[in-house]
Chain A
């Protein structure tokens, strides 16, 4: 049983002068057990992306740790295969869709046909040989999703990956993500500012405060799977959360549209 244990005392962005310093995260602690789909919800500027970068090891200038712990020790997530879906697909435009997936795999894995299989799963079988920048935004995200799962990640980090897509496309991708996750049971940390999306996807939702970000509310989502985002129960729960914690969720209630 490997779980992700995050314990960040503080993450400060230092400016040129002391006065310009900005504390993005403070006293941020949580644990995600193996196989759990955890959503991080918080208003813009609450340090969600910073948190993912710290977990991924892209940002090492931090007081505190983010570790994968098991019975026999702990390792940094950067030392095991992890998947990271950024807000934009970040594919290499000079590589084909297939090459973009194969490039993250080891030589044996690239030959195994797994990349092709993943792309077929994502419905990209017909465009595997196309340069990735020829694809639509939704298709590029599916390719990025295939790439993220191609490394057989122990941990999947997702930073509002479906933002700026039209609603039907985003919903199809969420279903696709859930199917892929269900088949592989990867631990997921999914950042979003959209409460409906979090309720649709997550086993659990961690609410971040305004900056400096820390966990102010930890919700186990009491909805059975598979879920339908248009299920009235989901909407009722959303309304209830907003009513019960008006102050906490004020930044979210306004509009999912004013996104990152």
Chain B
């Protein structure tokens, strides 16, 4: 009986549009949270509406928008830095066997150094500054971008490179019209994974050595055991990243790969 009802429900889901399914899934998560909060009935798991109130208060007080802005700025700088440097290195390593062999060990090393070690070393060597913070985040991300883009650069179509050679394309025309379009799927994959990784590491960097930003705020509310505030900050931040992902990165990817059949 139950199984049959479930099957029917899923059949309904199958007919609904993607957006509806996402919405239903989110609502279900909210329901689970509410039930759990009611069962716990204590400060260690506040109910959704308690968090909503906390979120509102922090927005009105101005501290949440400020620290959110600071963190987003760091995420943006680290993201641009990591993507551009990582893409450049990835293309070079993917196109040149010699360079690849020479630096492959570095990349493996970079992939395996814990983020925490990079952060600590950057702070020690460069001081507790924003520059050190952003560089630490970028260094953590660059090897991952390199590995993804290198994979794409290795698969660049030799036939089309010959076309650019025959028709004597300039260096920049070959890059923008022949090479990069083949790399966009790889670069976009690196960007989307990168955003998720970078904002997590930025929080860690802020926790360890900055006196503003979401990471710093979380450490304060941790000391006060203000779980509502921690969840409020988290929700606000996740919401914004989700917005960037769905309103910027995904449409951009669709646009860049619209020629695909």
Contact = CB atoms under 8 A, between A and B. Distances in A.
Q: Do A and B assemble together?
A: yes
B179 to A, nearest CB: 11
Interface in A77-113: 78, 81-82, 84, 86, 88, 90, 92-95, 103-104
Given A84-B166, A90-B160, A92-B160, A103 B177 contact: yes
4 A-B pairs with least C-beta separation: A104-B167, A94-B181, A94-B259, A131-B259
Contact of A90 (B163, B181, B260): B163
A144 B165 CA distance: 15
A145 interface: no
DSSP class of B's interface residues: helix, strand, loop or mixed?
helix
Contacts of B169: 103-104
Contacts, number: 41
A158 to B, nearest CB: 12
B159 interface: yes
A188 interface: no
Interface in A112-150: 131, 133-134, 147
B166 A103 contact: no
B173 interface: yes
B259 A133 contact: yes
A156 to B, nearest CB: 11
Nearest to A99: B177
A103 B259 contact: no
B259 A88 contact: no
A103 B173 contact: yes
B12 interface: no
B165 to A, nearest CB: 6
B159 A86 contact: yes
**Interface residue range, chain A:** 20 to 34
A205 interface: no
Nearest to A88: B159
Interface string B165-183: 1111100010001100100
A211 to B, nearest CB: 22
25 contacts: A56-B166, A58-B162, A58-B165, A78-B168, A84-B163, A88-B159, A90-B162, A90-B163, A92-B163, A92-B177, A93-B259, A93-B260, A94-B181, A94-B259, A95-B177, A95-B259, A103-B167, A103-B169, A103-B173, A103-B177, A104-B167, A104-B169, A131-B259, A133-B261, A151-B167
Given A92-B178, A103-B177, A131-B259, 18 more contacts: A57-B165, A58-B162, A86-B162, A86-B163, A90-B160, A90-B163, A92-B160, A92-B163, A92-B181, A93-B259, A93-B260, A94-B259, A103-B169, A103-B173, A133-B259, A134-B261, A147-B167, A151-B167
Contacts of A95: 177, 259
B255 to A, nearest CB: 11
Contacts of B160: 90, 92
Contacts of A57: 165
A253 B167 CA distance: 36
Contacts of B162: 58, 86, 90
Nearest to B167: A104
